[in-house]
Amino acid sequence: MTAGLLRPASAAGTGRAARWWLAGFTILGLALPPLLPERHLATFVLFALTATVTVGVSLLMGYAGQVSLGQAAFYAIGAYAAGLLAVHGVPSLLGLLLAPVIAAVAAVLLGAPLLRLRGHHLAFATLAVQLILLSLLAQADWAGGAIGLQGIPRLTILGYELREDLGYAYAASLVLALAVLIARNVIVSRAGRALRAAATSETAAAASGVPIGRYRLAVFALSAAMAGLAGGVYAYYLGYLSPGSFPVLLSIEFVVMAVVGGLGTITGPVAGAAVVIVLVQVLNTLATRPGMPGYAPAVLSYAVYAVVLILCVLYLPKGLVPALRRATRATAPDRRQS
């Protein structure tokens, strides 16, 4: 079922161009936050955290050929792990480091039985896992129940407490940079090549001695760890968590961003998250103008996710980044001729 859409762009821009992109993103990540006004700073934190999760989703869908409709579950596990640890007096930095570990362990335990499934079966299984988690969290009094977990302390690094949004913008940038770096190294590694082979033909890859099952589980755990890490920062940033913060729609949003940017590319998920979040923010600003009805922001954001996803899947099946790359490559020889 995964033909076409889920096949990764070959070699996925691991060359010099990608390195320039990475350098550009790093500079942007460092220089942008202090220039942004307070209101947009919150959007930046949201963007960096969402993009971190999306990097994992893109890796999972592009390289392991698995559609996860429950990635927000691991985001929630990381957030709740960090939040609960901090509430019970564990140093917040340790809590942040443990969040991805706990999310990855959960992914291994869940993935061992679930990753036998493929295609739409796996998509529904991951969705079911998230629904079960949300239902359990809403009933768990030790985690705050349906009301939510309150009074999570702020993140403290080496005795310095992060109080301002600016600090969290840098923390989120750092987390995103880490996720991108890990994704890049995985893609160019032996395991990455093996997974790319498996995405083209599983039988051929298995016959060549690729331990597909183990690699699949490893990518699943890695993507969960990325979601968990982002969730940890989210918990300290907001200081409040509830099951309602992690709806099924959030999982779908991650898929939208990954598909829009280009599956299996390094810069794709970052670009996809940026495009979608900026679009939603712009429309949100329009929708909250005086005179607009109260339901306008919700309607517009649903419509944006839906329309962007459908148009992208049907007309740009490889995503924005590969499409742009192809466009620039197509114009390059012309310039040389003239």
Which residues make up the interface to other proteins (CB under 8 A)? Answer: 1-6, 67, 69, 113-114, 116-121, 123-125, 127-129, 131-132, 135-136, 139, 201-203, 247-249, 252, 255-256, 259, 295, 298-300, 302-303, 305-307, 309-310, 313-314, 317
Count of Cβ atoms closer than 10 Å to residue 36 Cβ: 15
Min CB(185)–other proteins separation in Å = 28
CA angle 325, 327, 328 (to 5 degrees): 65
Nearer to other proteins, 101 or 304 (CB): 304
Considering the complex, what minimum distance in angstroms separates the CB of residue 5 from other proteins? 5
Phi then psi for residue 52, to 5 deg, are: -60, -45
Contact of 56 with 223, CB cutoff 8 Å: yes
328: three-class secondary structure by DSSP: helix
When the beta carbons of 80 and 305 are compared against other proteins, the nearer one is: 305
Indicate the residue among 27 and 310 with the shorter CB distance to other proteins.
Answer: 310
Cα dist from 13 to 21, 182, 280, whole Å? 10, 15, 28
CB atoms within 10 A of CB 262: 30
Nearest to 21 by CA among 187, 181, 188, 227: 181
Q: How far is the CB of 100 from other proteins (least distance, A)?
A: 25
Q: Which is nearer to other proteins, 151 or 247 (CB)?
A: 247
CB of 310 to other proteins, least distance (A): 4
Cβ closest to other proteins, residue 19 vs residue 116: 116
d(CA 172, CA 181): 14
The tokens describing 26, both together, are: 């790093």
Q: Which is nearer to other proteins, 35 or 207 (CB)?
A: 207
- CB 51 within 8 Å of CB 229: no
Count of residues making up the chain? 338
Residue 43 CB neighbour total at 10 angstroms: 16
Among 267, 237, 210, 328, CA closest to 14: 267
Nearest to 276 by CA among 57, 70, 2: 57
Residue among 96 and 115 whose Cβ is closer to other proteins: 115
Residues whose CB is less than 8 angstroms from the CB of residue 271 and which lie 6 or more positions away in sequence, other chains included: 261, 262, 320, 321
Q: How far is the CB of 76 from other proteins (least distance, A)?
A: 16
Whichever of 166 and 304 has its CB closer to other proteins, that residue is 304
Of 184 and 216, the one with the shorter C-beta distance to other proteins is 216
Helix (H, G, I), strand (E, B) or coil at 338: coil
- State in angstroms the smallest separation of the CB of 218 from other proteins: 18
Min dist CB 137 to other proteins, Å, is 12
CB of residue 69 vs other proteins: minimum separation in angstroms? 8
CB of 134 to other proteins, least distance (A): 9
Tokens of 83: 């939040």
